[in-house]
């Protein structure tokens, strides 16, 4: 293992494909995952229910190789991107960009490589990596909720499509009417009524004219997923809209190595998996993937459906073919598919990037194939760690919420799990409101006037069990009261 670099984030409140040495070479009914219902806030006689503080800011952070593209989903969204102090490079903390983005607007911020903080008063999506400066990338879109399924997406496409195999594909898991258009002019680029399992693709000449331009994808009838394929190196979402599941659709292309690797990753249980060619209806694989194991298929220009009897993760990223040094970046999805979790299985072509959202977070990274521990340590809230263990398949376990990215070099792009933390924070505001209202009501039954400090005291284990379900549903089921209280502190006015 080569030397590691620690990235220490000094703003404590922020908690939130080719080989590297080469240039480019030439259906089913789905139920959307629901959030546990919010309990009615108890009404206290003579007192209004507490309201979330409008001055609170969503906070998170992200690693990028060079750029960040902020996609606005609401008007007048105030955003600030900050540089975080890095002792290894001597970089100092400070604001890189601050401004406002509107609905359908994007802001490309040339950040340079490193870990950065993002503060926003409204939810937004963040595309990171090199989506503009290096066009050989691939990803599925995420909306402002951090979901891969939506009835509305915005994205800025890569700068060029010169290799001939690029695709922009909208996947329908239920019947939907889909339109792809220019959000400024409302010019329709493509539209189609889709059946379950159907897809809509942009024409080749249309893609060629859309370098660095923003497109909007809207659907009626049901939510859809959207794939931008200019190379391999991406998570395939399940039909639930999260990264893990039992049913998946994707295109596996041939850029830039002639074939792409379709990686099937099982979690704690062995899974029986079938991969079907959607064009021919013939199975390409029908077998078992052992617990915590991986099975790879080398494919070229195939539209496929992956079905499993147990939850799995599906990745299109170099592993068995050109797996070491292949330039790409993709975030791991975690056991529950949200991208913020405490147990990950991730492929990489050389490097791993770990980001802790919580203080005192013990982390262990193990090479799944050899059993060797490649990292063991503790990260604080707003701390990142870069590892270079070499290409392979790794398991990352932590005591608290974490995000993990695999890849190598400086060419790749993916949507940051930041939007997922935005959704967790939004649910936390509701939890805070419920807890404080319940405390006031309980105090009044005892004839006591609760002080503001007592109302705002840390959430107890019992209160977390009673009211924490919405935040857990947005994040991960094992989120603890300690983690919840740390998010409360991060949500305080900036």
Domain contains 322? yes
What's the alpha-carbon Rg for the chain, to the nearest Å?
Answer: 22
Beta-carbon contacts of residue 48 (< 8 Å; ≥ 6 apart): none
Domain contains 40? yes
**Is residue 136 pLDDT above 60, yes or no?**
yes
Kindly report the average pLDDT of the chain as a whole number: 86
Kindly state the average pLDDT of the residues 56-81: 88
Residue 1 has a pLDDT of 33
pLDDT in tens, 459-481: 999 999 999 999 999 888 999 99
Q: Give the C-alpha separation, 117 to 428, whole Å.
A: 20
Residue 13 has a pLDDT of 34
**Is residue 387 pLDDT above 50, yes or no?**
yes
Domain contains 212? yes
- For 311, the token pair is 């939850």
pTM above 0.75? yes
Kindly state the average pLDDT of the residues 255-267: 94
Answer whether 275's CB lies under 8 Å from 262's CB: yes
Domain housing 346: 5-26+35-424
What dihedral do alpha carbons 348, 10, 382, 100 form, nearest 10°?
Answer: -90
User: What backbone torsions phi and psi does residue 472 show, to the nearest 5 degrees?
Assistant: -65, -40
Residue 56 has a pLDDT of 62
Q: Give the C-alpha separation, 419 to 144, whole Å.
A: 6
Q: Hunting for tokens 């947005």 — which residue is that?
A: 474
Domain count, the chain: 1
Kindly state the average pLDDT of the residues 371-380: 95
**Is residue 137 pLDDT above 60, yes or no?**
yes
Say if residue 256 is preceded by a cis peptide, omega within 30 of 0: yes
Domain contains 469? no
Residue 276 has a pLDDT of 98
For β-strands 199-201 and 214-220, DSSP reports them as unpaired
User: What backbone torsions phi and psi does residue 384 show, to the nearest 5 degrees?
Assistant: -120, 160
Half-sphere exposure (Cβ direction) of 353: Cα atoms closer than 13 Å: 23
Q: Quick one: which of 393, 402, 306 has its CA closest to 345? A: 393
Least confident of 139-143, 273-277, 283-287, 428-432: 428-432
197 or 383: which leads in pLDDT: 197
pLDDT in tens, 391-417: 999 999 999 999 999 999 878 899 988
Answer whether 397's CB lies under 8 Å from 330's CB: no
**Is residue 418 pLDDT above 90, yes or no?**
no
Answer whether 86's CB lies under 8 Å from 113's CB: no
Domain contains 493? no
pLDDT in tens, 233-256: 999 999 999 999 999 999 999 998
Domain contains 437? no
Answer whether 14's CB lies under 8 Å from 57's CB: no
Kindly state the average pLDDT of the residues 175-201: 97
- For 434, the token pair is 């419920």
Q: At 60, is the pLDDT very low, low, confident or very high (cuts 50, 70, 90)?
A: confident
Q: Hunting for tokens 């019947």 — which residue is that?
A: 175
Q: Hunting for tokens 């960009």 — which residue is that?
A: 97
Kindly state the average pLDDT of the residues 200-225: 95
Domain contains 492? no
Domain contains 459? no
């Amino acid at each position: 293992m080569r030397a590691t670099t620690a990235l220490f984030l000094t703003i404590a409140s922020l908690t939130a494909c080719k080989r590297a040495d080469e240039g480019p070479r030439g259906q089913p009914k789905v139920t959307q995952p629901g959030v546990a219902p919010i309990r009615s806030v108890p009404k206290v006689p003579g007192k209004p229910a507490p309201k979330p503080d409008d001055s609170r800011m969503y906070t998170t952070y992200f690693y990028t190789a060079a750029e960040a593209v902020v996609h606005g989903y609401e008007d007048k969204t105030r955003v600030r991107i900050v540089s975080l102090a890095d002792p290894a490079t001597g970089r100092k903390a400070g604001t890189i960009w601050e401004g406002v983005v509107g609905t359908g607007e994007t802001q490309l911020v040339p950040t340079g490589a490193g870990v950065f903080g993002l503060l926003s008063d409204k939810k937004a999506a963040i595309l990171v990596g090199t989506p503009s400066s290096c066009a050989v990338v691939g990803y599925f879109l995420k909306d402002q909720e951090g979901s891969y399924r939506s009835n509305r997406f915005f994205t800025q496409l890569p700068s060029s499509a010169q290799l001939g195999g690029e695709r922009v594909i909208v996947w329908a898991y239920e019947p939907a009417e889909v339109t792809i258009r220019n959000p400024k002019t409302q010019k329709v680029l493509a539209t189609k009524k889709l059946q379950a399992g159907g897809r809509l693709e942009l024409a080749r000449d249309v893609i060629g004219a859309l370098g660095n331009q923003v497109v909007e994808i809207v659907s009626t009838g049901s939510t859809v997923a959207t794939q931008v394929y200019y190379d391999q190196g991406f998570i395939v979402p399940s039909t639930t809209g999260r990264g893990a599941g039992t049913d998946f659709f994707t295109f596996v292309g041939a850029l830039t190595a002639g074939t792409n690797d379709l990686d099937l990753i099982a979690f704690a249980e062995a899974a029986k998996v079938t991969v079907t060619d959607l064009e021919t209806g013939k199975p390409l694989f029908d077998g078992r993937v052992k617990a915590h194991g991986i099975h790879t298929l080398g494919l070229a220009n195939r539209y496929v459906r992956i079905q499993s009897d147990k939850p799995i993760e599906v990745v299109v990223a170099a592993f068995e073919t050109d797996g070491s040094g292949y330039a790409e970046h993709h975030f791991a999805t975690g056991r529950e598919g949200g991208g913020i979790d405490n147990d990950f299985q991730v492929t990489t072509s050389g490097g791993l990037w770990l980001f802790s959202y919580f203080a005192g977070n013990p982390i262990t990274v193990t090479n799944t194939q050899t059993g060797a521990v490649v990292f063991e340590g503790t990260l604080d809230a707003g701390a990142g760690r870069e590892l270079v263990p070499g290409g392979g398949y790794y398991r990352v376990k932590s005591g608290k919420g974490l995000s993990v990215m695999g890849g190598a070099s400086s060419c790749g792009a993916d949507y940051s799990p930041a939007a997922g933390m935005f959704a967790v924070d939004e649910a936390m505001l509701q939890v805070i409101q419920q807890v404080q209202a319940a405390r006031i009501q309980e105090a009044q039954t005892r004839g006591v006037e609760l002080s503001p400090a007592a109302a705002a005291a840390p959430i107890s284990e019992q209160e977390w069990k009673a009211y924490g379900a919405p935040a857990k549903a947005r994040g991960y089921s094992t989120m603890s009261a300690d983690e919840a209280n740390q998010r409360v502190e991060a949500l305080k006015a900036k």
